[in-house]
Structure 1
């Protein structure tokens, strides 16, 4: 059903306009290309568009929210909104299932509550999606040894459990719909949500992209059309009508404005916030070369923390807590048979040992990382990985290697500082402990 033909994009613009949404008249939507692969829509300027002007807006009433989804699904399933059929569904399950019903009932006499067909028609079809959940098994194997590899299986398992729960509940009231409620449909809808949703905090008087424990994902037709550029200066503006406003302007809307001039022919770009390539691959299906926001997730066994994982970025950003955790682990191993007061004090020997542990940990992780595509993929395997996936592999692995090298440099700097401090205090350093 989804597609990017001129008919679909024009139908979407008209639908948005009729419902008091807005797209700047000097922008148009065209298929995006990456490595000769058409993956979605680009928002492009037909003429120079000045800075600080409204590019797109969406009235709150057009947002796809869990409540909108629940109301529509109750009609589709012919149950009450409080029915056990919909009991216990998460916000994600409601929104994803609402999208799926548009696919299942495409071309059929669907209830008017399935009100977002023109929007869903412009979203990329399943074969255009490139998150790691859409990699072939052979492609995913090239990422073995990385955080992303395990995270992909974890997410797939969680989403499959959601899908199976929804399908079993739907079957209670409608076996026809349950049979057509396929994993492919649910994965596609879930990917729309992971790549296009905003936190509901954006629909507040003080809009923010920062999620809170009580926020939930919402889709904003039109506003989600712009692709990502890191550090792109943008503003989100909520317009609340005055009490005296005419009926046609009687509801709030969310608008996006860019703070830089966009020349004719250039793409207009949004800012999704700082995201590492692992998150971009898992949730969006693209990467950034030399991404400054890249991180690696480290887990230190034997450390008694509630959640013994830490994220470290380039230039060893965030390595301080990792260093403290490694020291704690070394101290616990070395001094389990001494009193609490002595156990709380690090010696120079303990700290030097901790630097060795940190270097060895980084070296071990480096050894597990796959090589980049030019090394990993033989001539016989070229057909096993698509060019755009190979590019993501290269961008991602470059960041992981850079972070681990910076962590090793961090450990070596710590080692030198410990040695110098010990010498100043007249402490003799045992040579075997120095890396």
Structure 2
């Protein structure tokens, strides 16, 4: 049986539901759900029983049942980076799913605790995953000069360390780095927040987001692809179970918030995300993404004590990351941080005792305008340097082997970064012109000095 058909049989047998007005179809971008006839608003499209969710609790219990390693022992070993800490959700999911592959390699009957084979066989193979950790070395060169280049290296180090811990604790060489990477990518691209697995008062309603949430895999619901701005409605409820008596089971359902035309794909909405976040976590980008950003971080080095004191007094953090959007407007807090870094302590030129002193007032105004020019100059230089680095990087060698789709993804990402940085420089230039105009128009000090 084909993986998709096998999955649907397993899914529906367990109580999963797919609308009879929809069908799974393989398209160029992968598997998707499409309307076979017009669907009215509020119609239930797909439901996943809670019991099919891959959660940390299920993973931990299954790992113990299969390997004999108690859930309490699924911790980082002594001498490791996080010695004594519990495994995170990603590590538990990778071990649980990875053990399915390990036992498939061995042949024969798998342990009953490994209950998600049809789902795992229906997941896209590693060869179809297009997040940057699946880029070749030559393809990664396309990211040179971008924030993403460093983020990919950081993620690879973090996940690689976690992968090694799994093998060390479970004593299972079949839990390879390649398999860990695949599961970690499924989790980053397909997971849902665990708060969906709640059933307040047993009534069908949107789940609460008050409780602390963590990523879980929900087979069936993750069939839906993403489109921006798509209204979505998730309902936790009891639905008719698969047995002859239809005993209700707990499930999370995706409900059509609006009418869907025949032949249209049924989409999920992952929320407003930049192309950097989409490429790193999901492996796709959006052309001219209106939610795109460039993240700026100040290279503060060792701040002088007086500058650090000014930042602390204002509750500002110099190492914070600041996102600049398509309009190029710099975040107000970024400007505040740089003002505090470059400014003088207020008490050094405190003229509050003589508010009628025209010279003091003029001097304060002039210093304020000049400080603003210094702030804009520092930020402008930082952005110019970042833009130059971006433009200089990402050029593949003459003989580089780069997949066309990867080249397209990176080009869309880089073009967006360049457009935002250029817009930011334009905005800074406009502000500099306005401030210089104010200085030129200033009548000077009225005291005649």
Shift of 1:118: 1.0
> For 1:7-34, what per-residue CA distance to the aligned partner results, in whole angstroms no more than 9, with x for missing partners?
2212211211111111112322222315
Counterpart of 1:104 in 2: which secondary structure?
A: helix
Q: CA RMSD in A?
A: 2.8
Q: 1:285 to 1:341 in 2, by over 3 A?
A: farther
Q: 1:341 to 1:202 in 2, by over 3 A?
A: farther
1:218 is matched with which residue?
A: 216
Looking at structure 1, the residues matched to 246 and 230 of structure 2 have their Cα atoms a distance apart, in angstroms, of: 32
Please show how residues 367-378 of structure 1 align to structure 2 within 5 Å.
367-370=388-391, 376-377=395-396
What are structure 2's unaligned runs of at least 5 residues? 77-84, 309-316, 352-363
Counterpart of 1:50 in 2: which secondary structure?
A: coil
Looking at structure 2, the residues matched to 412 and 146 of structure 1 have their Cα atoms a distance apart, in angstroms, of: 23
User: Is the CA contact (8 Å cut-off) linking 1:48 and 1:261 kept in structure 2?
Assistant: yes
Moved more, 272-281 or 314-323: 314-323
1:433 is matched with which residue?
A: none
> For 1:181-228, what per-residue CA distance to the aligned partner results, in whole angstroms no more than 9, with x for missing partners?
110010001111000001112223465697x89321101110011100
1:330 is matched with which residue?
A: 342
1:159 is matched with which residue?
A: 159
Moved more, 284-293 or 99-108: 99-108
Decide which of 153, 172, 188 is 1:194's aligned counterpart: 188
Decide which of 267, 270, 281 is 1:269's aligned counterpart: 267
Shift of 1:43: 1.6
Shift of 1:410: 2.2
2:328 is matched with which residue?
A: 316
Looking at structure 2, the residues matched to 207 and 423 of structure 1 have their Cα atoms a distance apart, in angstroms, of: 59
Q: 1:353 to 1:24 in 2, by over 3 A?
A: same
1:28 aligns with 2:23: yes
Looking at structure 2, the residues matched to 122 and 180 of structure 1 have their Cα atoms a distance apart, in angstroms, of: 20
User: Is the CA contact (8 Å cut-off) linking 1:229 and 1:269 kept in structure 2?
Assistant: yes
Moved more, 9-18 or 276-285: 9-18
What is the number of equivalent residue pairs in this alignment?
A: 400
1:401 is matched with which residue?
A: 418
Q: 1:406 to 1:341 in 2, by over 3 A?
A: farther
1:251 is matched with which residue?
A: 249
Looking at structure 2, the residues matched to 184 and 209 of structure 1 have their Cα atoms a distance apart, in angstroms, of: 36
Shift of 1:111: 1.2
Moved more, 187-196 or 113-122: 113-122
Looking at structure 2, the residues matched to 138 and 122 of structure 1 have their Cα atoms a distance apart, in angstroms, of: 29
User: Is the CA contact (8 Å cut-off) linking 1:372 and 1:394 kept in structure 2?
Assistant: no
Q: 1:426 to 1:249 in 2, by over 3 A?
A: farther
Please show how residues 148-187 of structure 1 align to structure 2 within 5 Å.
148-171=148-171, 178-187=172-181
Q: 1:404 to 1:74 in 2, by over 3 A?
A: same
User: Is the CA contact (8 Å cut-off) linking 2:330 and 2:424 kept in structure 1?
Assistant: no
Moved more, 233-242 or 194-203: 233-242
User: Is the CA contact (8 Å cut-off) linking 2:145 and 2:393 kept in structure 1?
Assistant: no
What are structure 1's unaligned runs of at least 5 residues? 1-5, 35-39, 172-177, 429-435
User: Is the CA contact (8 Å cut-off) linking 1:327 and 1:350 kept in structure 2?
Assistant: yes
User: Is the CA contact (8 Å cut-off) linking 1:199 and 1:209 kept in structure 2?
Assistant: no
- With the length of structure 1 as denominator, give the TM-score of the two structures: 0.84
Please show how residues 8-407 of structure 1 align to structure 2 within 5 Å.
8-34=3-29, 40-83=30-73, 88-106=86-104, 107-171=107-171, 178-204=172-198, 205=200, 207=206, 214-240=212-238, 248-302=246-300, 304=308, 305=317, 307-317=319-329, 319-331=331-343, 335=344, 339=348, 347-370=368-391, 376-377=395-396, 380-381=398-399, 384-407=401-424
Looking at structure 2, the residues matched to 79 and 168 of structure 1 have their Cα atoms a distance apart, in angstroms, of: 12
Counterpart of 1:297 in 2: which secondary structure?
A: strand
1:175 is matched with which residue?
A: none
Looking at structure 2, the residues matched to 424 and 260 of structure 1 have their Cα atoms a distance apart, in angstroms, of: 57
Shift of 1:371: 6.7
Q: 1:340 to 1:184 in 2, by over 3 A?
A: farther
User: Is the CA contact (8 Å cut-off) linking 2:42 and 2:258 kept in structure 1?
Assistant: yes
- With the length of structure 2 as denominator, give the TM-score of the two structures: 0.81
2:360 is matched with which residue?
A: none
1:432 is matched with which residue?
A: none
Q: 1:240 to 1:30 in 2, by over 3 A?
A: closer
Q: 1:399 to 1:73 in 2, by over 3 A?
A: same
Looking at structure 2, the residues matched to 54 and 427 of structure 1 have their Cα atoms a distance apart, in angstroms, of: 71
Looking at structure 2, the residues matched to 340 and 98 of structure 1 have their Cα atoms a distance apart, in angstroms, of: 64
Moved more, 143-152 or 363-372: 363-372
Shift of 1:297: 1.1
Q: 1:239 to 1:76 in 2, by over 3 A?
A: same
Shift of 1:421: 4.5
Counterpart of 1:252 in 2: which secondary structure?
A: strand
